[in-house]
Amino acid sequence: MADLLVIAPHPDDAEIHAGALIAAHVRQGRSVAVVDATRGEQASRGTPEQRAREAAAAAEVLGLCARDQLGLPDGGIPGDDPAARLLVVEAIRRHRPRALVCLHAHARHPDHQNLARLVGGAVKAAAIHGLRSASPAWAGVRLWWVEAELPLPAAPTLLAPASEDDWRRKLAAVRCYGSQLAGGGGPATSISDPAFLAWIEARGRTWGHQAGAPYAEALCGPEAARIADLTAV
């Protein structure tokens, strides 16, 4: 079981967009699991094997209780496919979280958009006893969408504050993905830009200022709130 489950499209998405939130919950004694939907096999940099090793290292840095892989196609996550949705349902039922975080569908990447659609349907489907899977039905999951890309409109209803130590742990986890960052070799990407980590820092400081904390990560959910523990909502 996990108090908080984060479902992300690719290895590194959970760390980049919700790493401080994860670190804060682990610090507070909550169990946190991450499920990566794809292996990142279509990425411009790094092999799936490299990214699997990087994801395992980042999981250790953050103190995750579990990290799973759905094996959906990178660049081809289906937005409305019963078989793919059932994989997400089974992940939810297996980890039995009190709260679930997924990247917001306002992102430009089609995998981010489609995974949001899958997760949105799977949260309800996981509670349906007539839908058979390897694990029993699980209901009452609070779903939150983490803000993913600042250039697009985002109106957070929840700011999850993070301490300086939470933020250092987030950055340490992001740096585990050396194949994706500056100096990793390969074509230039938004993540390989030397200014990428500074952009993350600025984003976290901006939300933190509004949350009255050193840093924060922004989410959208069913109600306006400023809390540090999503599982208590």
| pLDDT < 50 positions in the chain | 152, 233
Give tens-digit pLDDT for 80-109.
899 999 999 999 999 999 999 999 888 788
Domains and CATH numbers, the chain: 4-232 (3.40.50.10320)
What is the per-residue pLDDT for 149? 61
What is the per-residue pLDDT for 147? 81
Angle formed by the axes of helices 48-62 and 13-27, to 10°? Answer: 20
What is the per-residue pLDDT for 105? 85
What is the per-residue pLDDT for 233? 47
What is the per-residue pLDDT for 228? 65
Closest to 148 in 3D by CA, of 105, 110, 114, 191: 105
What is the per-residue pLDDT for 117? 94
Does the pTM surpass 0.85? The reply is: yes
Which residue has tokens 């994989």?
Answer: 87
CA distances from 58 to 23, 62, 90 (A): 11, 6, 24
